[in-house]
Structure 1
Amino acid sequence: MAAAFLPGNLQDEATCSVCLEFFRDPVSIECGHNFCRACIAQSWRDLEADFPCPQCREVFPLRSFRPNRPLANMSEIIAQLARRGAREAEAGGQCPRHREALKLYCKDDASPICVVCDRSREHRPHAVVPVDEASEEYKVALRPSGPPSEQILLGQLEKMEKNISRRQNENISELSKEITLLNKLITELEEKIQQPVLEFLKDVTGVISR
């Protein structure tokens, strides 16, 4: 959704009333209202006549809209300002939507939220805990439980290294066998080529397939 901390009028001018996002490829219809091209196309998709404005409900006999390039440029600038503001808010430990401190952690979305987000419909059914509590919980889950666990990890690493070394040796051995076999086949082919024609043609297909 468009960033809530922008000035209200500025945000309204740059926001599509259908998707509630900053305009993407905005177009104007006959009543003067603006929408994303995809939004108005979706709104009129199944209509063959009488095309209503999604905002003021005025009806038009023809499907008609035109690009609004000045609005597209303005929306892009405002969107950039919104993204910059969101980054600054997050860097300062604030919710980019509500400018409140990020004191809570939503486990379902795996992200920090503010108290306003917690009361919203989006997060109401989610598991939410204070950020300090969530931090300690995940630290415990990630931390090895003492020296025995460290020894187990080192043992697993050593086992993996041995398996890799064994596979490398097996690959080298297998490759040596294939090289020996190829050399043998080359020798047989050279001998076969030197044979008289009739002798050469005997079992030549078998040699080729090998």
Structure 2
Amino acid sequence: MAQSQPPKTGAEPPPRRNDLPPEILEIIWPALQVGGLSGMSGMLIGGFSGVIRSTTPTLFALASGIQWFTLGTTFWASRGFVIHAWGKHKVGPREKVSASAIAGGIGGTAGGLLRGRGNVIPGAIMFALFGATGQMIYNRADARNSALVERGEPDKKNSILNSKWSPMKVLSDSEYEIMLREKLLRVNAQIALVDENIEALRAQERQLAADKRLNDRQDTSSSQDNKHV
């Protein structure tokens, strides 16, 4: 007889998912990376400042690292959320400037809270200006590089390297291949010269051995003639 199964008391709960949505991870993970770099920079600057001010460098570096980690993480996460809310693929350069300004204000507010309520408004204004200015500079540099690529013109770095005053030069694939072939020909020529020198030494060695055998025979024959006499 088949065993009867116990009746189900209710619907099974759906499996829990601890993973965050990929959209959130795309914002949080880079923000943590930026915050980590900012925190390490803040610790270094705080340590030097603590040594100069003759205070405890460790505590000063730790406090500075926490502040810069909070500022960097908050800024990058806020910027990512704003751009995602406005449409990631629809945001233009102007919208990125606005998003960076908003994120700078939020980051400055978070950083100001760690230093006291009196620093909230100045920090928000200052970092909003920093965020907008930095984004504008980046947009101009990116637009300039894109224009150079479209026109097929070399960038400034390559033009400096290709100048006559530079000890280095940027080579194309064909130029690099020609250079390798020339080096290979020179190596083969040097190997041929070495082979010729080795063959000449061997011939000289054989000649010396033949002369030695001839001298030995002559000495042997002369000694035998002296015995007969």
Same fold (TM over 0.5): no
Structure with greater strand percent: 1
Q: TM class by shorter-chain length?
A: 0.3 to 0.5
Q: TM-score, normalized by length of structure 2?
A: 0.36
Structure with greater helix percent: 2
Highest Rg: 1 or 2?
2
